[in-house]
Amino acid sequence: MNRAWRSLRAAIITLLLVLGFVAGWPKIAPRIIAGLPPWLAQLAELVPVVQRAVLRPFAPLANAFGITTQNWTLFSTTGGIRHRLYVEGREPGGSWQLLHRAQDDEHAYLRETIEYRRLRPIWNPHRYGLAEGYVPFTRWLARRALLDFPRLERVRIRQEEIEILPRGAGFRSTGHFVNRREYSRAELLP
C-alpha cells in the first residue's frame, strides 16, 4: 500500500484518539472545584473551556454520527433519593385511580412499554434532572390512557420521591411527589 496513504491513515487514527481522549475529560462538579486549592481550581475551570475549543471544529462530524461525548457516566449516582413513577386516571366526579406504579404487580398498566429501556431514560430523572422528552412522553402516555380507558376524564403522571434504605433493605416512600403533569381529555383528544 502507498506509504503516503498509510501515514495519512495513521494520522487520522491518531487525531481520532486525541479527540476521543479530550471528549472524555471528566466534567468536574462545582462542589468538587470549590474544595480544591485555588491554583488547581483555576486549572479545573479551564478544562471545559479547552475541551470545547479543541472539539468545536469537529462538532459537525461528531453530530452527524450522534457521538455526543466520551464521558461514560454509568450508574454514577446511586442511593439517596430516587423516584417511583405513578400513572393515575380519574373519571368525572370520581377520585384518582392508580393505573401504573413501578414494581407494583397490581397496578401494571402498560408496564412492558413504559419499562422498555429506550423509554426509561426519558421519564427516570438522572443526575442533571429530567430529560427534555419528559413532557412529550407524559402527553403520549396520558393520551394513550385516555384512549384505552374511555371513561377517564383526566390523567396525571407524577413521581414519588423514595429513599433508598441502607444495606440493601430496599426503599422507603416519602409521600412527596414531583414532576407532576396532568392532562384532560379535552386537551389531548379534542
Partner 1 sequence: MIARWVDLWDERETAESLALVRILIALSVLGDLLQARMRSAVEAVWAPPPFGAAWGASAASPPLLVSWFGTGAQTAHVAWWLAVVATLLVLLGLAFRVSGWLLVFAMVEMWRLTPDGGDGIDLLLRVVLPLLALSGANATWSCDAWLGRLWGKPLRNSVPAWPRYLLIVQLLWLYFSAAHHRGKASWGPAGGFSAVADVLGDPHFARFFPGSLQAFYPLTQLGTALTMVFEYSAPLALLWIWLDKRPGRGGRFGDWVRRLHVRWWWLALGVSLHLGIAVTMQIGMFPFAILALYPALFGPEEVTKLLKRVRQSSFVRQS
Q: How many other CB atoms sit within 10 Å of the CB of residue 89?
A: 22
Shortest Å, Cβ 121 to partner 1: 6
Helix (H, G, I), strand (E, B) or coil at 84: strand
Stretch that binds partner 1, among 37-45, 49-57, 105-113, 174-182 (CB under 8 A): 105-113
Indicate whether 26 belongs to the interface with partner 1 (CB under 8 A). yes
- d(CA 27, CA 188) in angstroms, rounded, equals 40
Which residue among 33, 44, 70, 108 contacts partner 1 (CB under 8 A)? Answer: 70
- List 43, 46, 165, 178, residue binding partner 1 (CB under 8 A): 165
Query: Grid coordinates standing for 79?
Result: 442511593
The DSSP string of 31-52 is: HHHHTS-HHHHHHHHHHHHHHH
Segment contacting partner 1 by CB under 8 A, of 40-48, 50-58, 90-98, 106-114: 106-114
User: Quick check: 111 and 100 in contact, CB under 8 A?
Assistant: yes
Tell which residue, 177, 172, 25, 8, has the closest CA to residue 96.
Answer: 177
Residues that bind partner 1 (CB under 8 A): 1, 6-7, 9-10, 13-14, 16-17, 20, 24, 26, 29, 32, 64-80, 82-85, 102-103, 110, 112-113, 115-122, 124, 131-133, 135-137, 139-141, 143-144, 162, 164-171, 188
